[in-house]
Amino acid sequence: MKLKRSFIILFFLGALALLIAACDSGDEPTEADGSGESEETEGGQTGGTLNIALNAQPPTFDPVMTTSTATRDTARMVFESLLVLNAEYEATPLLAEEVENENNQTFTFHLREGIMFHDGEEMIAEDVVASMNRWKENANQASEIIGNNEFEEVDEYTVSLELDEPSSMIMSTMANAGQFGAIMPKEIVEAAGPDGVTEYIGTGPYEFVEWAQDNYIHVSKFEDYQPLEEEPDGLAGARTAPVDDIYFYIAPDSSTRLAGIQSGEYDLAYQLPFDSYQQLMETDLQVEPSLAGDMVMQYNSSEGLFSDPTMRQAVNAALNLDEILQASLVDPEIYTMGANLMEDENVQWATDAGEEYYNQNDQDLAQQLLDEAGYDGEEVKIVTTRDYQHYYDSSVVIQEQLENLGMNVSLEVYDWPSLTDLVDDESAWHLRVNGYTFRPNPTQMLYIQSDTAGVAQDDQADALMEEIETADTEEEARASWEELQEYIWSDYLPGTKLGRYSHLYVMADYVDGFVYSNGGIFWNISVNN
């Protein structure tokens, strides 16, 4: 009996000790701790580990297969393309040394020599040809411009492309950050199936190590990487890889990311909730609201009530965008307003054309247009999702504003996959709020293209788009775009841009070098503590 009692007491004490020990070991550096293991050098600290909390698991690590931003931001650590966008959205060589452009129709890409893949082989023209032709087949924007033409090998370090017709868009399309033309070894490209490549070998500053599904993606520094000498500029310029290891932890729940960055579990967290902005500003953390895209209320202009442009103009005239943005994006520090449909830094395309039609909040005009359109109390169906809270919040305010105008408005809420399925059925909805990330040129903007669900075909818009695509000079292309943007706001209105939203990136005070340009850029980040 005595022995049994002693055993029980010992067992309890042991368990207690284990728990206390587990609590106490919090200060010990671990493999996945952003602290420790870094060393001071002339240009800052190198080494260490960076723990990033991602908001979603990428559907694939093959960037050629998807437009997913989670794939874009993680895969570009490993894969690189011939051209990339700089901070002003200009196509700039990365794996290409130089590009010869003859009349926007014939292009010759001279490759950088001595670029190594992560498997130790040198990148040569046959790899580029195989990779770019696979990209052309998978990326819609590319296949529309390039058609049946192909990238061809000229010699070991030269690749050419000849188009049937001139295109002023091909360079920026090739440099686009989403679904980019990742250069991989020819054998890997040839072994790719319909769901993408199975081996992740690129030329980037980090090499792929491991993907623990729904847990983390681990990339580590590629020692043989050869950075450009130019200063970093958006996605262009030098990529330096000061940190040895980067873990992208998949943390879909925003409150988990928030608690994780506050407690030091993560060094950098993606896309935190807008309403946490003020709370975060009161901490030692670095808060970077980075303008990421436009929140747009899309009309179903293909079918039903809003196939009449006057109805769309009536709603556009009625909306009070200040109210909508305050309710959905919360803080003026994290959103901007304006008629410009391209990114403000985009020197080639940014314009305020049509600004008199933005944020009119003119109820009399709206009522007059409604009467003109013969609106007679028909039900207007807004479809939305709570998976993106700002879409839902803005939809609620839009519903209220339109009801105040005397319209009969209903709100239907779905989960995100159901909603994306539903909008393909053009008889099922009238209005929806959606986010669109920035594009390098107007031809890539989804909500003005008639092959997007709910977008009506429009002869004048198509003609102006054609002018942009085939313009001989940048000035001519810009003039056509200014005309098109004016027309979009005044008449066509496939959607009303509500405002420009930021993504909230938050990082610990010892993280240095984060840049946002078409998504977060992590290859020049160092951990300074």
Partner 1 sequence: MLSYIVKRILSAIPVLLVVSIVIFLIIHITPGNPASVILGEEATPAQIAELEESLGLNLPIHQQYFSWMAGVFQGDLGTSYFMNSPVTEAIGNSIVPTISLAIFAQIISLFIAIPIGVLAANKRGSLTDSSMMVFALLGMSIPSFLLALLLVLLFGVQLGWLPVAGFRPLSEGLLIHLQYLILPAVSLGAIQAALIARMTRSSMLEVLNMNYIKSARAKGVKNFGLILKHAFRNALLPILTVVGGTFGTLITGAVVVETVFNIPGIGQLVINSIERRDFAVIQGVVLFITVVYIFLNLIIDILYGMIDPRVRLDRK
Q: Which stretch binds partner 1 (CB under 8 A): 308-316, 355-363, 367-375, 420-428?
A: 420-428
CA distance 344 to 89: 10
Cα–Cα distance between 388 and 330 in angstroms, integer? 14
Q: Which amino acid is at 157?
A: Y
The DSSP output letter for 226 is -
User: Least distance from C-beta 177 to partner 1, angstroms?
Assistant: 13
Measured from the CB atom, the residue of 26 and 377 that comes closer to partner 1 is 26
528 touches partner 1 (CB under 8 A): no
Q: Among 17-25, 153-161, 228-236, 299-307, which window interacts with partner 1 (CB under 8 A)?
A: 17-25
Can you tell me the distance from the alpha carbon of 90 to that of 346, in angstroms, rounded to the nearest whole number?
8
Q: Is residue 13 close enough to count as binding partner 1 by CB under 8 A?
A: no
Q: Which residues 6+ apart lie within 8 Å of 297 measured at CB?
A: 319, 394, 398, 431, 432, 433, 495, 496, 498
67 touching partner 1, by CB under 8 A: yes
Measured from the CB of residue 250, what is the shortest distance to partner 1 in angstroms?
8
Given 35, 46, 60, 310, the residue binding partner 1 (CB under 8 A) = 60
Total residue count of the chain as it appears in this document: 529
Q: Among 40-48, 74-82, 237-245, 252-260, which window interacts with partner 1 (CB under 8 A)?
A: 252-260
Does residue 26 bind partner 1 (CB under 8 A)?
yes
Residue 238 to residue 436: CA distance in whole angstroms: 28
Burial class, 336, CB count within 10 angstroms (exposed 0-12 / middle 13-18 / buried 19+): middle
Among 40, 417, 466, 475, contact with partner 1 (rule: CB under 8 A): 417
Q: Which stretch binds partner 1 (CB under 8 A): 237-245, 248-256, 330-338, 500-508?
A: 248-256
Helix (H, G, I), strand (E, B) or coil at 380: strand
CA-closest candidate to residue 95, choices 84, 109, 81? 81
Query: Which amino acid would we find at residue 48?
Result: G
Q: Which two tokens stand for residue 513?
A: 């070098």
480 vs 464: CA distance, rounded Å: 6
> Taking CB under 8 A as the rule, does residue 18 contact partner 1?
yes
> Which CB atom, from 430 or from 439, has the smaller least distance to partner 1?
439
138 binds partner 1 (CB under 8 A): yes
Task: Determine the Cα–Cα distance for residues 205 and 118; give it in Å rounded to an integer.
Answer: 9
Q: Kindly tell me which residue out of 43, 148, 229, 263 binds partner 1, with binding defined by CB under 8 A.
A: 263
Closer CB to partner 1, 436 or 523, in the complex: 436
Nearer to partner 1, 60 or 360 (CB): 60
Identify which of residues 3 and 21 has a Cβ nearer to partner 1 in the complex.
21
Residues numbered 76-95 forming contacts with partner 1, rule: CB under 8 A: none
Indicate whether 385 belongs to the interface with partner 1 (CB under 8 A). Answer: no
By CB under 8 A, name the one of 179, 271, 328, 496 that touches partner 1: 179
* Residue from 50, 52, 64, 65 binding partner 1 (CB under 8 A): 65
Nearest to 236, CA basis, from 322, 175, 170: 175
Which member of 416, 457, 472, 473 binds partner 1 (CB under 8 A)? 416
Nearer to partner 1, 179 or 351 (CB): 179
Residues 275-314 touching partner 1, rule: CB under 8 A, are none
Three-state SS string across 252-293, please?
CCHHHHHHHHHHCCCCEECCCCHHHHHHHHCCCCEEEEEEEE
- DSSP type of residue 448: G
Decide whether 30 or 460 has the Cβ nearer to partner 1: 30
Nearest to 500 by CA among 325, 355, 383: 325
Q: Assess 17 for contact with partner 1 (CB under 8 A).
A: no
Least CB distance to partner 1 at residue 424 (A): 8
Q: Which residues contact 454 (CB under 8 A, 6 or more apart)?
A: 298, 299, 300, 301, 302, 303, 423, 426, 429, 432
| DSSP reduced 3-state for 328 | helix
Please give the structure tokens belonging to residue 98: 């130089």
Count of residues engaged in binding partner 1, rule: CB under 8 A? 59
Shortest Å, Cβ 414 to partner 1: 8
- 22 sits near partner 1 (criterion: CB under 8 A): yes
Minimum CB separation of residue 265 from partner 1 in Å reads 5
**Contact footprint for partner 1 (CB under 8 A):** 1, 12, 15, 18-19, 21-23, 25-26, 30-32, 53, 57, 59-60, 65-68, 138, 140, 179, 193-196, 198, 212-215, 249-253, 255-257, 259-260, 262-266, 387, 414-418, 420-422, 446, 451
